[in-house]
Amino acid sequence: MNWLVTPGVRLSDRDLDFVVEQVAVDVEDRAGLRRLIQEDEEFRKGFVGDPRVFDRLMSDDEAFISVSPALYFEVLLRRALTELGGTTHTVERMGSQSVPVFDAASVVDLLAQPGVLYYLADMLGSFTRVRTSVTRVRVRRGLWRKVRYSDLDVSSLIQYASTLDEQHRFPIYKRIGDVCLFILGVFPEHAPSDRPHPLSGASLQATGSRMRRGAEEYEEDGRRFYLMAAGHATAKEMGISVVLQTLHDDFGVARKPLTFLGEHYLRGIRRRMFGSEAAE
């Protein structure tokens, strides 16, 4: 499985054509325009963040298949960045209560940091194709055993990482951080909190299975594995150490734009988009 990403991923010709069709259909030098979008960061922000691109993707659920998942989520994150820039707070759900948290500026600052928005877009795209795999690992000379793991299950990924040499663990470390952030951001209802509800004093976890991983555990593991990934030699070679360190430092803020997407743009289609396994 390929969980390695590069900040600022290049857009495919198909992605570029889609963006140009929405924003500058009458332009004569399409090749030159595509080149500018690809090579100029500010130009790309302007075109990919154009409301017409967002409106086209939101007006038709099938438009998702017209572009790469990475571009789709980049468009949504750029729209979220614009909308959050015009407000003061985000909303957190605590049981049946919606609580305003005045941290919109922190979310905007995070998304504006180099590489973060691209990383989150590519990460979200990776969860549209979740798989379960079986691999053989060497226990000792002449003895091998099968290890089954899902790339959306933290416990099985941690087990899988333990079978690998440190030099090969980077993609697993990073994926564990990504899974924790994704669950807390896009499917927070599947990670109830162990903390007492401020209104009732009862644990929000108490109504669910005690075997279910709680929000605090997801956050603890997410921070821990992002930090381990950030310090890995592979992260330095790929140039994403700073992004991973940022996600460790600001994990609580990083889940906010994902929740914003889930509640405002993906409501009703989350399970279909990310698959049944993500919704369990």
DSSP state of 206: G
Interacting residues of 7 by C-beta distance below 8 A, sequence separation 6+: 114, 115, 116, 118, 119, 239, 240, 243
Find out whether 79 and 89 touch, Cβ atoms under 8 Å: no
In this prediction, residue 237 carries a pLDDT of 94
4/214 Cα distance (integer angstroms):
27
Per-residue pLDDT tens over the stretch 169-202: 999 999 999 999 999 999 998 887 765 444 334 3
Residue that the structure tokens 């005045």 belong to: 102
Which regions of the chain does DSSP assign to beta strands (E)? 90-94, 97-101, 132-140, 143-150
Backbone dihedral angles phi then psi of residue 74, each to the nearest 5 degrees: -65, -40
**CA-based max dimension of the chain:** 66
Planar angle of CA 133, 138, 143, nearest 5 degrees:
115
Mean pLDDT split into 10-residue runs, the chain, 280 residues:
64 93 89 92 94 93 84 96 88 67 90 94 89 58 64 88 91 96 92 56 39 86 98 95 97 96 89 68
Task: Compute φ and ψ for 11, nearest 5 degrees.
Answer: -85, 145
- The residues near 21 (Cβ < 8 Å, ≥ 6 apart) are none
**pLDDT at residue 19, as a whole number:** 94
pLDDT of residue 193: 74
Quick one: pLDDT at residue 210?
38
Dihedrals φ, ψ of 145, to 5°? -140, 155
* CA distances, 268 to each of 76, 273, 274, 279 (Å): 16, 10, 12, 12
Give the model's pLDDT for residue 149: 63
Phi, psi of 225 (to 5 degrees): -80, -30
DSSP states along 14-66: HHHHHHHHHH-TT-S-HHHHHHHHHH-HHHHHHHHT-HHHHHHHHH-GGGGGG
pLDDT of residue 272: 84
Task: Give the whole-angstrom CA distance, residue 188 versus residue 90.
Answer: 15
pLDDT of residue 277: 57
